[in-house]
Amino acid sequence: PEVPRAALVEAEIERIAAEVPGEVGVAAIHLETRRLLSHNGTDRFPMASVYKVPIAVQALSRVEAGDLDLEKTTLPILPEDHRPGSGHIAEIFRSPGVTLSLRNLLRLSLIKSDNTASDLVLRFAGGPKAVTKRIRSLGIVDMRVDRSTLQMILAWDGLEGAFTEESFSLAAYETLAVRLTVDEKKRSAAIASVDVRDTSTPIAMARLLEKIWSGEALGEEARDFLLGTMAECNGSRRLKGMLPPGLERPAHKTGTMWGGGYSTVNDAGIIELPDGAGHLAIAVFINQAEEDVFELENVIAQITRLLVDFFILVPAE
């Protein structure tokens, strides 16, 4: 008998994934027909900065409830709020005197993956437990948010417990970080890459994107703000890397952790297919990989293009 074409696509994903010195997880849901394709779709992966999407969902849920306001809810940025890693706030605004609205913090946390902004949005969202509770309320059980971005980075770097949110100092962090040996960094990264905290399965992430798109997770105004912001997100070499012309603006969020000889490289988003072929929610997670980030980004781009071509060319089987 003829092998279903979906099985052939999954076999090709498996072939691509087999070349990666790490674990690859993939889930793709065609949103109009709810067809699902996956590879290691029920395995847990560190979300890294992709976790800024569920944080945004909870913060925007509080806006819809009237607890917060995108414009009127503001926060002064203090030196202890600065976070290491990606973003611009800690780099540019080193001195006190900057106040940002929740809208601007959300945009920075998503578009530029700004870690300072993300931890402030998490504070407005009510903390990690509130985010996980919101995700559970949507029927998603295989995703959890446990820590701030700061605490995730400290764990990866081998400095877990060195700072609280309130006692953090970027200068003190940098002083401690440079003292770590190569072996210490490798050991901490190996432990952090298999930590169950702040993880999701690819299918759970694709389901969250589905619920955002359908309006189940957020009302129309908040949904449009979130997806519109995600369409501006940085990271052109992953989901967007090999897309056909005209599809280059998916609503997506990247996530990256690296160091100590390990890389976690992720992307998850919604792609509008051409000619009325519908929408595709995709999550591609790569973990414990010993390749450089550029090579792993290329793997995400290959898998995404394969899935996009399949859902464009093959009607429901």
pLDDT by residue (tens digit) across 157-208?
999 999 999 999 999 999 999 999 999 999 999 999 999 999 999 999 999 9
Cα 288 to Cα 21: distance, rounded to the nearest angstrom? 8
Domains of the chain, each with CATH number or no CATH = 5-313 (3.40.710.10)
Place of tokens 């949507």: 138
Place of tokens 């997100």: 233
- DSSP assignment, residue 180? -
SS3 142: coil
pLDDT at 193: 93
100-151 tens-digit pLDDT: 999 999 999 999 999 999 999 999 999 999 999 999 999 999 999 999 999 9
In DSSP notation, 218-257 reads S-HHHHHHHHHHHTT-S-SSSTTTTPPTT----EEEEEEE
Q: Report whether pLDDT(1) > 70.
A: no
Stated pTM of the model: 0.97
C-beta separation of 75 from 96 below 8 A: no
279-305 tens-digit pLDDT: 999 999 999 988 889 999 999 999 999
Both structure tokens of 44: 């847990």
Mean pLDDT confidence for 216-236: 98
Rg (CA), the chain: 19
Mean pLDDT confidence for 234-242: 96
Cα 185 to Cα 254: distance, rounded to the nearest angstrom? 23
What are the φ and ψ backbone dihedral angles of 98, each rounded to 5 degrees?
-110, 130
| Buried b or exposed e, range 11-28, using 16+ CB within 10 angstroms | ebbeebbeebebbbbbbb
| Percent of all residues in the chain with a pLDDT value above 70, rounded to a whole number | 98
Mean of the per-residue pLDDT values of the chain: 96
Region for residue 161 given its phi and psi (left: phi exceeds 0; alpha: psi -120 to 50; beta: otherwise): left
In DSSP notation, 57-79 reads HHHHHHHHTTS--TTT-EEEEPG
Q: At what angle do helices 149-157 and 182-192 cross, to 10 degrees?
A: 130
C-beta separation of 61 from 134 below 8 A: yes
